[in-house]
């Protein structure tokens, strides 16, 4: 069963290279298409370079969305990584 | 191939420092679960490329899922091409990526860490040329 799911969060730190890498590795574990939207830009969450290219910074609201059989799990996992990995501003 | 095997990455650069630095950066971004082996410079420590260094690096990088090689410029590409023309003693599959060096290794390593096969890891590296920084 395919599904759409999305969740908006506010970043606690900048979406730098290391959190972008952790996020892309995690997104690859799901079969759903996963994307991150920041302002007017959207990126495939499985592409570390595209995620870095968003240039998302602390305090910015971003939306994690997924489309596919494991969409809800994917969004949950990515949101958890974003909250954890951006907390220390790495 | 074991279930946990990840595609290994080899960085071939004219400069040992450049290959080592790019490997360090990619390891940190990708979480350190992928073998990223630098093969930079000549055997005597100068600028250039060494077929023997690349051969050793490829063997170290392989854990059963194959190896993707990223060259920096010019003779690094030629050195790898000559090596791959007689791949009998090398791990398989082994492929050469046509990709930007820094962006390519970061994208390839993250894809490998996510469990991608060599075709997808190479594609991730090669797509790096189309991703804008700004």
**Segment A16-52, tens digit of pLDDT:** 999 999 999 999 999 999 999 999 999 999 999 999 9
**Tokens representing residue B38 in the block:** 């630098």
Is A75 an 8 Å CB contact of chain B? no
B118 Cβ contact list (under 8 Å, min separation 6) = B7, B65, B66, B67, B68, B93, B95
pLDDT band at A84 (very low <50, low <70, confident <90, very high): confident
- Asked if CATH classification 3.40.50.510 holds for the domain at B8-130, the reply, yes or no, is yes
Q: Using the CB atoms, write b or e for B44-72: b if 16+ within 10 Å.
A: eeeebbbeebbeebbeebbbebbbbbbbb
d(C-alpha A77, C-alpha A85), whole Å: 12
- Return the CATH fold of A3-85: 3.30.1340
Q: What is the pLDDT of residue A1?
A: 61
Of the candidates B29, B107, B127, the beta carbon closest to that of A18 is on B29
Domain ranges (residues) in chain B: 8-130
pTM score? 0.92
Average of per-residue pLDDT across B6-31: 97
Domain ranges (residues) in chain A: 3-85
pLDDT in tens, B50-105: 999 999 999 999 999 999 999 999 999 999 999 999 988 899 999 999 999 999 99
């Amino acid at each position: 069963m395919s599904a759409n799911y999305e969740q908006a969060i506010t970043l606690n730190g900048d979406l730098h290279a290391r959190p972008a890498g952790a996020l892309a590795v995690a997104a690859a574990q799901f079969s759903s298409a996963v994307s991150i939207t920041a302002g007017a830009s959207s990126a495939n969450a499985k592409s570390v370079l595209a995620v870095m290219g968003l240039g998302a910074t602390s305090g910015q609201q971003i939306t994690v969305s997924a489309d596919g059989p494991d969409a809800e799990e994917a969004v949950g996992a990515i949101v958890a990584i974003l909250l954890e990995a951006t907390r220390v501003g790495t | 191939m074991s279930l946990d095997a990840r595609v290994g990455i080899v960085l071939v650069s004219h400069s040992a420092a450049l290959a080592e630095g790019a490997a360090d950066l990619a390891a940190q971004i990708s979480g350190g679960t992928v073998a990223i082996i630098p093969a930079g410079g000549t055997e005597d420590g100068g600028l250039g490329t060494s077929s023997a260094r690349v051969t050793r690096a490829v063997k170290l990088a392989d854990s059963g899922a194959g190896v993707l090689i990223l060259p920096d410029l010019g003779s690094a590409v030629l050195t790898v091409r000559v090596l791959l023309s007689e791949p009998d003693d090398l791990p398989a599959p082994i492929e050469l990526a046509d990709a930007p060096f820094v962006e390519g290794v970061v994208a390839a390593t993250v894809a490998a860490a996510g469990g991608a096969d060599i075709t997808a890891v190479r594609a991730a590296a090669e797509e790096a040329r189309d991703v804008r920084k700004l």
